[in-house]
Amino acid sequence: MKARVFVMLKNGVLDPQGEAVRHALGSLGFDGVEGVRQGKVIELDLAAGTTEDTVRQMCEKLLANTVIESYRIEMA
Amino acid sequence: MKARVFVMLKNGVLDPQGEAVRHALGSLGFDGVEGVRQGKVIELDLAAGTTEDTVRQMCEKLLANTVIESYRIEMA
């Protein structure tokens, strides 16, 4: 089974990477880009029967820094 | 309006970052993690009326390295 974890910086946390992308898009002539936030997707190939709760533990322990990042889990 | 772009390494392209995560999860006692791929999510805040085609151009020109990465666009 597959799980997908999305990790984004929390609102209010400065995102210099996203800011750089916004700036670069402007330089390339793309107008109207008002904001850019960049985060991570982690696709996990898991043994059958792995629960969402286990994935949540993975996030808390390793995948996300919950002080500055929020995460969202999608099981498939 | 918002757009979300997912950028992943293509299949067959070595993903050392994902491999490191897989290894770390194993060390933490999470069994049954068979594979991990790590990619990027880019959330764009766009002026109203921006088309998916424009976002596609952003991907081709800046957001993804289409030699080794594939991307997927979600408009919201």
Residue-range domains of chain A with CATH: 2-75 (3.30.1280.10)
Residue B42 and residue B7: Cα distance in Å, rounded? 8
Cβ atoms A26, A6 nearer than 8 A: no
Name residues of chain B where pLDDT drops below 70: none
Closest partner CB to A34 (pick from B21, B37, B47):
B47
Q: Which residues of B touch A11 (CB under 8 A)?
A: none
Q: Encoding tokens for residue A12?
A: 């209010």
Going by pLDDT thresholds of 50, 70 and 90, the confidence category of residue A50 is very high
Other beta carbons less than 10 A from residue A8's beta carbon? 20
- What pTM was estimated for this model as a whole? 0.92
pLDDT at residue number B71: 98
Residue B24 backbone phi and psi in degrees, to 5: -65, -40
Residue whose C-alpha is closest to residue B14's, from B30, B34, B38, B31 = B38
A33-46 and B33-46 strand pairing: antiparallel
Chain A interface with B: residues with Cβ < 8 Å = 6, 8, 18, 21, 24-25, 28, 30-47, 50, 54, 57-58, 61-63
Residue B41 and residue B28: Cα distance in Å, rounded? 26
